[in-house]
Amino acid sequence: MKEYPVITVTGGQFTIVDGFLLQWGKQFPSDISSKHAKGLLTPGGWYVLRNTYNPISLTKMKLMESNFLLTSDIALFHVITGLVYVRFVFRSGKYFCRRVTKQSGTHRACLIRLERVMGGKVKYIVYDKPVKSDFKCDTTALREQQLRDISKIEPTLELRSNSTTEFSVDNLKGFEMPDIMFVSEDILLKIKSYPITRDKIQHIRESEEKCKAEELGKLGRQLLAYTLGRNEWRLKKLKEYFDSKEEFQPMKEDFKNVWETSKAQTESHLRNIGKYVYSKLIKEWYKETRGTESSINTISERYSVVGGFLVDVVGRKLVNQRSANFVLTATESERKAIAGYHLRDWNVIKLMKEVFLVQEKELFDIVGASKEDMWEDKNGAIYDKYSKGSKKKKLRCISLHFNDFGWKHICESIVEEAEPEPVPKDEGTLFYFQFKKDTPFCVQEEYTLLVKDLREISTYASQRKYYVNYFARFKDMFEQSLRQ
């Protein structure tokens, strides 16, 4: 999931979304290369952003021939105020963006007024997901036009970038570095007012966790009730079959004992399965929703994606997918394959004060990470330096060096193991009865099969499989409802 920096300076609070420098509560985005950026952000804040996110999308818009810039990041429209609706028109071999009414619009957009730019004074930041499902415009063609525009202005962008690099960390002595927090996309979209504080973020996070726990608890109760009800129906049908057979009635007392034992055992097993297996199934489901971040994904003989990181499995090290070295040395097929993954943003690691925690142990196995001394404060945050009251912890770590930002650490997050599932021993065929001497063999055989079916239904293995299958059905129905 995407994470966004929230930079707090005297002039206000800022964040970076898709290369735009956004000030909370303001209508228009800004740019790191703007004249007032250094004064607005303070030297420390400007330096941090210039050497991490380098938000220059507004400069791109000024230089581009097209009057629009597509973005796939909905968070941009949550932070800045002012929203318009647009349509795309194709004229003279190119697409243009035109402002229209909400009723006739196909896309949401932010209107940007620019002075002395090619193509006019008004341009649009357009959210690439159409508001109307019947929209026929080819988004691929829009993207290709945008890429052509950007490729034309890349030399100019590079020249402008080099002209702003005279400011270095040596100039920052005496300047206070900004306070930087990181907010995940789901939390950011729920923030309704600013200033943003850590307490506010924590409150939203706790509310989210509470709602999630309530929803999961509700689903667990529904699943248990449903499987209990379905098993009761299955047992009832077997009993009805027994009652319909006159030749079975001499075994009525025996069957009653077996049926009641099976019913009690089925309910007991299902309640234990609901207690111990349900949480495991939820964790597996969560991993599935994280998609490519949850396991080892081979890209080529050299590269794999593990835990959201690109790993050089030959060199046993992490690789920044945005580094010039990787872009120049990777094959086209490797770059295309990696483009389909949601990889970690190294800027987050670079700017975090605490260590970056990752649960996937495979990541640390592949690079051969060793254990290092780390320190946990009273709030559970992990740091690489001791502070008063902190506790030492030995964690497997991957250390990265970021020039002026120093050493940063990615550490293995140790998750407490869940209480083990108390799987009972195989119950086998736990019944015994004596047929009367005159009972026909065919009746004995049919009755024995009936009781075996009854006992098989009530075994732990059978009930566990039944429960897991119905969980999969519940999951499919839930995911289908989200797609509608």
Residue 463: both structure tokens together: 């009930």
Q: Are 303 and 310 in contact (CB under 8 A)?
A: yes
Residues 263 and 170 placed together within one structural domain of the fold: no
Report if residue 331 sits inside a domain. Answer: no
Rounded to an integer, what distance in angstroms lies between the CA atom of residue 231 and that of residue 94?
A: 63
Strands 107-113 and 20-23: unpaired
The helix/strand/coil state of 125 is strand
Nearest-angstrom CA–CA distance, 340 and 310: 12
Helix (H, G, I), strand (E, B) or coil at 386: coil
Cα separation, 10 vs 93, whole angstroms: 47
Total domains, the chain: 2
d(CA 343, CA 240): 58
Residue 346 has a CB neighbour count (10 Å cut-off) of: 20
Hey, what are 110's tokens?
Answer: 């932010």
On whether both 10 and 151 belong to a single domain, the answer is yes
Structure tokens at 265: 């055992």
User: Which uninterrupted H or E stretch holds 383?
Assistant: strand 382-383
Final residue before a domain boundary, out of 144, 178, 196:
196
Q: Which of 143, 164, 196 is where one domain is finished?
A: 196
Phi, psi of 120 (to 5 degrees): 110, 175
Whole-angstrom distance, CA of residue 405 vs CA of residue 481: 45
Radius of gyration of the chain (CA): 31
Give pLDDT, residue 293.
Answer: 44
Task: Please state, as a whole number, how many other Cβ atoms lie within 10 Å of the Cβ of residue 62.
Answer: 19
pLDDT tens for the chain, residues 1 to 484 = 788 998 888 778 888 999 998 888 777 787 787 766 777 777 777 878 888 888 888 888 888 899 999 999 999 988 887 789 999 998 988 999 999 999 989 999 999 887 655 555 789 999 988 887 666 666 888 999 999 999 888 887 776 665 555 555 555 555 566 788 898 888 888 888 878 888 888 888 888 888 888 888 888 899 999 999 999 999 999 999 989 988 888 888 888 888 998 899 899 999 999 888 988 888 888 766 655 444 788 999 999 999 889 999 999 999 999 888 888 889 989 988 988 888 888 999 988 889 999 988 899 999 999 999 999 998 888 999 988 888 999 999 999 998 878 899 999 987 766 677 877 775 554 555 677 777 788 888 888 888 888 888 888 988 999 899 989 888 888 777 655 5
Looking at 196, 220, 253, the residue that finishes a domain is: 196
Q: How far is it, in rounded angstroms, from Cα 61 to Cα 21?
A: 13
What's the pTM?
Answer: 0.72
Q: Are residues 19 and 101 in the same domain?
A: yes
Q: How many CB atoms lie within 10 A of CB 43?
A: 17
Domain of 167? Answer: 3-196
131 and 191 both lie in a single domain: yes
Q: Is residue 413 part of a domain?
A: no
Same-domain check for residues 36 and 94: yes
